[in-house]
Structure 1
C-alpha cells in the first residue's frame, strides 16, 4: 500500500473568510517543498480554478461537476497537471456544481460519499489533496468532509461576524464523522488578523472556545492577497519577503509536522 495521501478540506459556510486564499497559497507552499499536490475545487464560483488554472472553467470538459455525476473512468480527464503553480494539479470547479447536489442525491444511495469514491484511486499518487469548499453546509461540503483526513476552518479575525454560524459547522463535522471517523480538526485559522485590534483579540478567544483548537500561525491583512489573485500567482511569487507570504510558508511547514508528511525538498530563501 502506498503512503497515505493527506486530504485537507478548507471549510466554513461563511463567505469571504479566506478559504480560496488558504487553499491556493498552501498548495503553492506544499509544491515548493517538492510535494505532489492536487487542488479540488468544489465551489461553483470556481475562484481557485480561475486563480491557478491556465484555462477558464467554461473551457474544461470534465470538472468536479462531471466527475461527481459520471463514471469514475473520467477521473484521469478531470486532473489538469498544467497549472500556474509548480507541482500542483487541479480538478476544476464550475457553475455546473450548483446543479450537482440534486443530481447525486437522486443518482446514488450514499450521496455524501461520492467524492470519496471518485478520489479513491488517487491514494498514494499525491502527497496532499486540498479541497476548496463552497460557502454552504450542503452536499458539496459534506462530500469534501467525507473524504478529508483533516479540516481547516478559516475565520475572518477582523470581523465581528467572523464566528457567525461556526457552531453549525462543528456540529456538521461531528455528523460527518459517522461516515468518516478519521476526520481530524487541524484547527481554526485566523485570517486578516491584527494583534493590535480589540476585535481580533476577541475573535481569537471566542474561536478557541467554540472550535477548540487554534492553528498557531495567523494570517495578517495584506494587499498582496488581491495582487496574487490578479496575477494568477501565489503570494510568495508576488513578494516572498512580505509577512503574509512568510506566514503561509510557516503554515505549510506546521501542517507537514502535524500530519507527518514526508518532504522531499527544502526550498532556499531565494526560491
Structure 2
C-alpha cells in the first residue's frame, strides 16, 4: 500500500526527453498554489531544471538536495525543503547533478533502493495537499523512486512529434513493475503537450495515445513561445501572461485535476481571472 493517506503525490514521468515534464510540474504547481493548495515540488532530475526555474538559489549552492535526502535518515526531510521560491504557495526540494552518483550509491546502501524517496517523504503526508515530482528522462532508479512514492502518475506526451509515443510500451511495463512495490498507484493518463488540433500528426497521436494509455487528460497544452520565456524569466506562465492560451490551459488542467483528486482548496484560492 502507498504510505500517503492525505497528500496526493503526482509523479510527472516519461523517459523521453523534451516532452514537457518540467513545464508541467512548474505550472501545475503554480496553479495548484493559486487554488489555495499547499504544494511541494520534488526535483529528481540531475539537470535540476525545475529548481533553476522556481528556486531562489542556484542548485549548485544548495547543501541539502534530493540527492542528500535519498541517502540520509528519515528525520532529514525538513532540511531539504525550501519554502521560499519564485512561485507563491510552492515549496521546493532542489535537484542536483549529484543525483546521478546517488542513483548508483543507493544500490549499495539500502536493501530497497526504489523505496527510499517514499520513506523520506512520508512525514510530509497531511502537511502538503499536493507533492509534484519532476522525474529525469530515464526509467532508472530515480524514476522508480518517484513512482514508488506516487499516488498518481501523469505522462506528458509531445503531441506535435511523430516520435511522441516512442518507448511508451517500455514506460507502461515499468509502471506495472512499480505496482509490485506500490500497488495503489494510479495512472491518470497521458497529457498531450504542444498539441494543435489542426495538425494531422496531433490527431493521429491523440488517437494512438488513447489506445496506448487508456486515458488522455481532458485539457491539452498548446505550443507557445511563452513556455521558454517563462523559464528564462523564472516565472510561471500565469505570472508571465495570465491571458495567454497556454496559461489558461494549465489553469483549466489544475482545476480539472483538483476535482478528480478531490483536493480541497482553501476558500480564498481559486481566482480564475
Classify the secondary structure of the residue corresponding to 1:112: coil
Number of residue pairs the alignment of both structures matches: 270
- Give the equivalent residue in structure 1 for 2:118: 116
Instruction: Pick the aligned partner of 2:91 from 89, 92, 97.
Output: 89
Deviant stretches of 4+, over 4 Å: none
- Give the equivalent residue in structure 2 for 1:187: 189
Once residues 127 and 61 of structure 2 are traced to their aligned partners in structure 1, the CA distance between those partners, rounded to angstroms, is 26
Residue 229 (str. 1) matches residue 231 (str. 2): yes
- Give the equivalent residue in structure 2 for 1:166: 168
The answer to whether the Cα contact below 8 Å between 2:35 and 2:271 also exists between their aligned partners in 1 is no
The answer to whether the Cα contact below 8 Å between 1:62 and 1:74 also exists between their aligned partners in 2 is no
Classify the secondary structure of the residue corresponding to 1:101: helix
The answer to whether the Cα contact below 8 Å between 2:34 and 2:271 also exists between their aligned partners in 1 is no
Classify the secondary structure of the residue corresponding to 2:115: helix
The answer to whether the Cα contact below 8 Å between 2:219 and 2:253 also exists between their aligned partners in 1 is yes
Instruction: Pick the aligned partner of 1:261 from 260, 263, 269.
Output: 263
- Give the equivalent residue in structure 1 for 2:144: 142
**Structure 2 unaligned regions, length at least 5:** none
- Give the equivalent residue in structure 2 for 1:125: 127
Q: Shift of residue 71 of structure 1?
A: 1.6
Instruction: Pick the aligned partner of 1:7 from 6, 9, 17.
Output: 9
Q: Which segment is superposed worse, 72-81 or 10-19?
A: 72-81
Instruction: Pick the aligned partner of 2:39 from 37, 53, 72.
Output: 37
TM-score computed with the length of structure 1 as normaliser: 0.98
Q: Give the aligned CA root-mean-square deviation in angstroms.
A: 1.2
Q: Shift of residue 52 of structure 1?
A: 0.1
The answer to whether the Cα contact below 8 Å between 1:79 and 1:90 also exists between their aligned partners in 2 is yes
Q: Shift of residue 3 of structure 1?
A: 6.3
Instruction: Pick the aligned partner of 1:25 from 24, 27, 43.
Output: 27
Residue 240 (str. 1) matches residue 221 (str. 2): no
